[in-house]
Amino acid sequence: MTQPDFATLVSRWFRQHARDLPWREPGVTPWAILVSEVMLQQTPVVRVVPAWQAWLARWPEPAALAGDTPAEAIRMWGRLGYPRRAVRLRECAVAIVERHGGQVPDRLEQLLALPGVGTYTARAVAAFAYGQRHPVVDTNVRRVVCRAVAGEPDAGPVTRPADLVATEELLPAEPAAAALASAAFMELGAVICTARSPRCTACPVESICAWRASGQEAPTGPTRRPQRYAGTDRQVRGLLLGVLRETTGPVPYQRLDQVWTDDVQRARALAGLVQDGLVEAVGADSFRLVGDGPSLPTADLTT
């Protein structure tokens, strides 16, 4: 397999078959792409699209979000899941305003220095917003490269430095072509080279895929153990946040009592929300979304 052949084949397929996603449209700003990448973490595309559109309608630029409260960011995040991302995205907007004049930086090291922006997100923004040549490696890309190049049925659970190296070796030298290839690799893993039901006959690199040539079967069973939700602290946290999102200002603890009958678990979930910077205690016995009003004396969670 030659490197240009692989990227060329996948990129050609991508031009014809890429999903029509709003953050891929011409003229989408780097800020909009950054927001999409944060929202897409552990969240299906179908849930992200309306949330992304609503978010950018309200905060089309980093300065708009930076000037609003963390509480409003949490409210707009709604039930998208993992609401800590909303707070971190606002912190990121503040940093962009303070350090970069309100413009999303285009240098990888500057992106990596932003709050809540990790290895994947920084490279994704550099590639998809600025057309730079960087290996953009998520679970889908790791699986594609592992199968097509290494001939293994699946990649490991986490991204390793070797995954970045292996993916970069497949990218064309020209930055714009490399950015396109990065998006194409990701799309191929998301819709064709899936974990348990790959559609190999529809794959543009079937003829040069090392895994296909090996004759190995796709792994059976779930890619990872499903996370239980019902009855967990995560469910209780969601119920508590639901009440707080629907109210402006402090909510009496007695009202929060009603969302869950287990006093110990409810108190633990509420304390976790406070620790994560999503909720703050006010007065003697009330709570609110962080920053949702003027500073008040804090309540004691231990009582």
> Which positions are catalytic?
37
Residues sharing a CB contact under 8 Å with residue 3, sequence separation 6 or more, in sequence order: 169, 170, 171, 172
Distance CA 89, CA 241 (A): 18
Which residue is associated with the tokens 């714009």?
A: 176
Percentages (nearest 5) of helix, strand, coil residues in the chain = 55, 5, 40
252: helix, coil or strand? strand
91-108 core/surface letters (b: 16 or more CB in 10 A; e: else):
bbbbbbbeebeeebbeeb
Distance CA 6, CA 4 (A): 6
